[in-house]
Amino acid sequence: MQISSNPHAVLFVSPGMGHLIPFLELSRALVDHHNFQATLFVVASDSSVAGSEQILRSPNPEKLRIVSLPPVDLSDVDPSIPVGAKCRISMNKSIPSLRSEIGSIPVRPTVLIVDLFGTEAFSIAEEFNFSKYFFMTTGAWFLAVMLHIPFLDSKARDDHMIRHEPLRLPGCEPIRFEDTCEIFTDPSGVGIAAVEENMSRGMLKSDGILVNSFEDLEPVSLKALRDDSRIFGGSNVVPVLQVGPLVRDVGPTVQENYVLNWLDSQPPKSVVYISFGSGGTLSAQQLKELAFGLELSQQRFVWVVRPPAENVDASYFDVGNKNDKHITPNDYLPDGFMARTKQTGVVVPNWAPQTEILKHPSTGAFISHVGWNSTLESIVNGVPVIAWPFYAEQGMNAAALTEHMEVAVRLRPPSDGVITRDEISKAVRRIMVDDEEGKNIRTRMENLKNNSRKVSSKGGSSYSLLSKFADDCLMNLQKSHGA
Ligand code: UDP
């Protein structure tokens, strides 16, 4: 391999839009502002996601190459295993093709960057002798959990997993059991053992961690990650650099979208946007309650709908690509809902141009599953959130938004699992109708939005930390020139 004078980042991203989008933004930031060459390797299942054809087109193919790895065979994988386990298997099966692609790159890469499901690929960086970095596409609080798992003593585990007490991490806010992620709700410990083995230990082997967060957003967790070595078991601290928010800006090609045209004719901040990310689906009963709740709230809305399913993450791997294209929202929304709300709402099947909608001046609130990208997109556009977490670390994100940042209200499913139309309508009106609470939430969100812009501009903390990462890569490159 030849050695170039500019650093070359090779990125290997897990399936799912929630991973792909921030990886693309990281690649772009490195290329556009920090003089990198980048090659982003995508596992094939991503290309089947609605909207990804456009996203996967590189804006600058000279400097940013996007390569889809050959599809992997998942026919031997039990379809009922959790989404995370499926992602990890796809990634591991893609490693031989990744290795051969990297081996054939004429200019030697400087750094390999992977995410949660890709740490096995660090063996390739070790083989070719370049740096290995981890990119956390969720927040710093959850990063602290993932890093600390191997160092949790059995009492702390049992207090949380068996006695349902809050999980206490060094220097961080405690995590209530009802907000915790699934690995802690399985008392058998099988899930947490798998995460420790397959993720946490891999992350701890990295030379550094980039996290899609920023100082004003998660000051407590970021300080702990920086200053409290107990998170890392007291030694072998891995440097953590907060380089966010890395979020997609509006694309040029959706100008003629009917949702955006409809938004153009609505009053400022008058529309509630509802979307549950790439994976989120509702049960038939919950879908009905949400529809009636929106009607009851008497607010305008744009709602991304999917056919009902009992699994909350049913569409993660194939959103917008199911064989149910003949099914229309009329088939599963309550009778007459579409006709009754024709003037006040728009229903979008499967997938909508989310960043464009959140940026639109008519959008006033976001009912969201609070996946981390949706959370950041809301923040950079100053749109208050109605948090409705489904799975993974979303309960923690909801707690952070409502209690630490105070820019959201929260919906919590009762014991029968269904949030009623009254609760939904009440939450919408708490934000949208101009009372004291809604006003305070909007003001705090506006402040966070302004801070998010400052940290990402030249001289801001996130921009500077990405420059530091670039400098470190350059230094390694110069060392290998000398070698
Ligand atoms: N997204 C979109 N249109 C949709 C739903 C989602 O563009 O209809 C994008 C959204 O803007 C975000 C990503 O898909 O960038 C979803 O990531 P997030 O972390 O919020 O949730 P996940 O899909 O990982 O659960």
The pairing of strands 64-68 and 111-114 is unpaired
* Ligand 1 centroid to residue 55 C-alpha, Å: 12
pLDDT of residue 50: 54
Residue 205 and residue 306 in one domain: no
Q: Residue 82 and residue 233: Cα distance in Å, rounded?
A: 29
Q: Is the CB of 200 under 6 A from ligand 1?
A: no
Q: Identify the active-site residue in 8, 46, 115, 179.
A: 115
Residue 432 and residue 476 in one domain: no
Residue 81 and residue 222 in one domain: yes
* Ligand 1 centroid to residue 123 C-alpha, Å: 30
What's the angle, vertex CA 128, arms to CA 124 and CA 130, rounded to 5?
A: 90
CA neighbor of 251 nearest in space, from 56, 66, 65: 56
Residue 184 and residue 75 in one domain: yes
Q: Tokens representing 225?
A: 């990650």
* Ligand 1 centroid to residue 20 C-alpha, Å: 10
Residue 264 and residue 180 in one domain: no
* Residue 1 located in a structural domain: no
According to DSSP, residue 360 is labeled: S
CA neighbor of 276 nearest in space, from 365, 389, 356: 389
Q: Is the CB of 180 under 6 A from ligand 1?
A: no
Longest dimension (CA), the chain: 72
* Residue 2 located in a structural domain: no
Query: CATH code at 356?
Result: 3.40.50.2000
Atom of ligand 1 nearest to the CA of 375: 20
Please check whether residue 347 is in contact with residue 300, taking contact to mean a CB–CB distance below 8 angstroms. Answer: no
* Residue 384 located in a structural domain: yes
Residue 332 and residue 448 in one domain: yes
* Residue 3 located in a structural domain: no
In the chain, what is the straight-line distance between the N-terminal and C-terminal CA atoms, in Å? 14
Please check whether residue 330 is in contact with residue 293, taking contact to mean a CB–CB distance below 8 angstroms. Answer: no
Atom of ligand 1 nearest to the CA of 351: 8
pTM exceeds 0.85 for this model: yes
CA neighbor of 14 nearest in space, from 53, 59, 44, 35: 44
- Note if 115 is an active site residue: yes
Atom of ligand 1 nearest to the CA of 352: 8
Q: Residue 147 and residue 98: Cα distance in Å, rounded?
A: 26
One pLDDT digit (tens) per residue for the chain, 483 residues: 666 678 999 999 998 889 999 999 999 999 999 999 999 999 876 444 555 666 777 778 889 999 999 988 888 888 888 778 888 899 999 999 999 999 999 888 999 999 999 999 999 999 998 999 999 999 999 999 999 999 999 999 999 999 999 999 999 999 999 999 999 998 888 989 999 999 999 999 999 999 999 999 999 999 999 999 999 999 999 999 999 999 987 765 555 789 999 999 999 999 999 999 987 889 999 999 999 999 999 999 999 999 998 766 665 555 555 545 678 998 999 999 999 999 999 999 989 999 999 999 999 999 999 999 999 999 999 999 999 999 899 999 999 999 999 999 999 988 778 999 999 999 999 999 967 889 999 999 999 999 999 999 999 999 999 999 999 988 877 776 665
* Residue 404 located in a structural domain: yes
* Ligand 1 centroid to residue 204 C-alpha, Å: 28
Residue 443 and residue 463 in one domain: no
Q: Residue 184 and residue 74: Cα distance in Å, rounded?
A: 27
* Residue 243 located in a structural domain: yes
Residue 241 and residue 329 in one domain: no
Q: Tokens representing 131?
A: 């740096």
Q: Is the CB of 52 under 6 A from ligand 1?
A: no
Task: Please state the domain count of the chain.
Answer: 2
Q: Residue 85 and residue 95: Cα distance in Å, rounded?
A: 16
pLDDT of residue 48: 45
Residue 169 and residue 222 in one domain: yes
Residue 280 and residue 296 in one domain: yes
* Ligand 1 centroid to residue 302 C-alpha, Å: 15
Torsion of CA 67, 70, 76, 80, to 10 degrees: 30
What's the angle, vertex CA 46, arms to CA 40 and CA 367, rounded to 5?
A: 110
Atom of ligand 1 nearest to the CA of 370: 20
Residue 297 and residue 381 in one domain: yes
Q: Identify the active-site residue in 19, 160, 360, 369.
A: 19
- Side chain identity at residue 18, one-letter code: G
Judged by DSSP in three states, 374 sits in helix
* Cα separations in angstroms, 368 against 307, 332, 365, 456: 17, 20, 9, 24
Q: Tokens representing 42?
A: 């995508």
Q: Is the CB of 374 under 6 A from ligand 1?
A: yes
Residue 466 and residue 374 in one domain: no
Q: Is the CB of 352 under 6 A from ligand 1?
A: yes
pLDDT of residue 47: 41
Q: Is the CB of 393 under 6 A from ligand 1?
A: no
pLDDT of residue 384: 97
Range of the domain at 54: 8-249+455-482
